[in-house]
Amino acid sequence: MSLFKKLMFLLTFFFFLYPFFSAISQELEEAEELYKKGKEALLKEDYKKANEFFEKAERILKKINVEEKIETHRKEKKIPQKINKVELLKEANKAYKENDLNTALSLYKQLLRYAKRNSNLHYNLGVIYLKKKEYKEAAKEFEEAVRVNPRNADAYYNLGVLYENFLSDKEKAISYYKKYLRLSQDKDREKVKEWIKYLEE
């Protein structure tokens, strides 16, 4: 389990745990204090320290044998133990197909928390930003897509289009078009070759 996945699970777990278990003992008070410190560390983006605090709190709760009560409470409240990333992706794709770009954007960003090095997710975000006419953000996502996967030909092509038509940098556009040509087997290769020649004149 990755650090971020574990943090997400523990945060969900604790958010529902503490309204149910009031601080009725020294151990619970200590666990609550550790949870608060973990949350503070998380807000400072110190994920390693946050995880240490959350794990200490979890050990205390296990020590005082609250697992059965926690599980009962989880079932009563129908609290999911993990986020179903497949369903999240389906919802993101559905929102995009329905042109609900803001929802799609939010869902794809959530997915990135679990797969930061997924070139396709960055590519999808780039397409959404492009459709929203947020061109600098689109370029940022496409550039991240090719950083993660230098063989993502379509991302290079879109970067070429962006820099040529919206970001006013012809040299960058040509560079990206050429990288696209080196990787792509697309039927439009010849058109792109001709377009590069036109831009270089």
Contact indicator for 122, 143 with CB cutoff of 8 Å = no
Please tell me the pTM assigned to this model: 0.59
Q: What distance in Å separates the CA atoms of residue 200 and residue 174, rounded to the nearest whole number?
A: 8
Q: What is the mean pLDDT of residues 114-130?
A: 88
- How many CB atoms neighbour CB 133 within 10 A? 9
- pLDDT class of 22 with cuts at 50, 70, 90: very low
User: Which pLDDT score, from 0 to 100, does residue 145 have?
Assistant: 92
Q: Which residue has the higher pLDDT, 131 or 33?
A: 131
Q: Cα(114)–Cα(8) distance, rounded to whole angstroms?
A: 10
**What residue ranges in the chain does DSSP mark as E strands?**
none
Six token digits for residue 79:
């609290």
Q: How confident is the model at residue 62 (pLDDT cuts 50, 70, 90)?
A: low
Smallest Cα–Cα separation from 196: which of 167, 168, 161? 161
85-200 topology per CATH = 1.25.40
- The string of DSSP codes covering 81-132 is SS--HHHHHHHHHHHHHTT-HHHHHHHHHHHHTT-TT-HHHHHHHHHHHHHT
Tokens 């009962």 sit on residue = 72
Per-residue pLDDT of 141-191, as tens digits, reads 999 999 999 998 889 989 998 998 889 999 999 999 999 999 988 777 888
Indicate the residue type of 144. E
188 — phi, psi (to 5°)? -90, 10
Tokens 């496409």 identify what position?
142
Look at residue 198 in the predicted model and tell me its pLDDT.
85
Q: Please state, in angstroms and rounded to a whole number, the distance separating the CA atoms of residues 6 and 75.
A: 20
Cα–Cα dist 133/112, whole Å: 21
- Any idea where the domains of the chain sit in the sequence? 3-76, 85-200
